[in-house]
Amino acid sequence: MAQKKYNYCFDYLKCIACIFVVFMHCEFPGVFGTAVQAISRFCVPFFFMISGYYSYNTSTESSKRKVKRIAKMTIYASVFYLIFALVQWALGQNINPVSKRDIVLWILFNRPVVIVGQLWFLFALIYVYLLYYIIQKKNLYKLAYCTIIVFIAIYIFFAQGMHMLGKDMPNFLYRNFLIEGFPLFMLGEWIHKEENKFNFSNKAIITVIVASTLMCFLERAVMGRDFGINISTFVQVMAIFIYGINNSEKHKGVMQEIGKKCSMFVYILHPFVWKMLVILSEKINIKGSVVFSYSLPVMVIIITLVLAWYCNKIVFERKKIIEQ
């Protein structure tokens, strides 16, 4: 049996996705910022899908290892941000008190309290891997594949549908491990299973990527608000993913290495870098300036990438020492 070729393009796309994660959270000002955020929404679905893609045809032991690895990373990140929050509180910053409702929302809907909300993805991913472990144990793949379209439809109804009916739903009801994370994870897993059927030309794929990205702009303008994932985003991320499958040996280089080694660290560290730059801007009284507002997302990207690279280096060196 031929050995599966390494997909360099996925690493490259992970680099692009982690950069857009920062632009999605740390927005540019004005209409430009809204437009960039509208096209950035593919990144979280992409990371769920790629987690599912690499889970296809793996053992339950592999799923258990992934749960342990993500849980370990989540605990470290949570402790880091808890300490950061306590330091801010000690220095006079306000921290909202934690209620029983907050704890319930954290456990059921992956909505972190005290620590930064952006870490919801890590908590959701743990739950998704646990669900996938059950699917593997009970051989429930067919049922899981059937739920993909069902949960995506529920997401669209709760988000865009209810908005069009004049009632906005709290986003934690659809932005959680079950309604968002699980179907996208299983979509990535299913795509791996059927990947030989996605032999489209690059011209066709890029056309769909461009068209769906433009639709993201239009959808945001028509809807007037953000929903976490645009309807057009589902098409956009699917096309991006198929591009990655069909161009697995392309895009080797610096961005590919960053995506491979640093994307998760970028996701974890960027809220800290963002907050520190905002605090610094307040101290030197430049927070409200136009130049700072436009420079902030770029500075967050650059500093976070440097920190992520060194964090990866430290982890890699520690791993080598342990293995010796």
Output the furthest CA–CA distance in the chain (Å, rounded).
Answer: 63
Cα 157 → chain centroid? 21
Amino acid at 273: V
pLDDT of residue 315: 83
pLDDT of residue 98: 80
Residue 190 lies in a domain: no
Residue 5 lies in a domain: no
Range of the domain at 263: 26-34+255-324
Q: How many CA atoms lie within 13 A of 282 on its CB side?
A: 6
Buried b (16+ CB within 10 A) or exposed e, 282-292: eeeeeeeeeeb
pLDDT of residue 321: 60
pLDDT of residue 1: 40
CA distance 121 to 123: 6
pLDDT of residue 94: 74
Contact 43, 20 (CB under 8 A): yes
Residue 270 lies in a domain: yes
Q: ∠ CA 193-46-107 to the nearest 5 degrees? A: 100
Contact 227, 160 (CB under 8 A): yes
Per the structure, how many domains does the chain have? Answer: 1
Residue 304 lies in a domain: yes
Which stretches in the chain have pLDDT values below 70? 1-3, 317, 319-324
Residue 106 lies in a domain: no
pLDDT of residue 320: 61
pLDDT of residue 263: 96
CA distance 273 to 75: 19
Sign of CA dihedral 22, 23, 27, 29: positive
Residue 140 lies in a domain: no
Contact 219, 89 (CB under 8 A): no
Residue 60 lies in a domain: no
Residue 225 lies in a domain: no
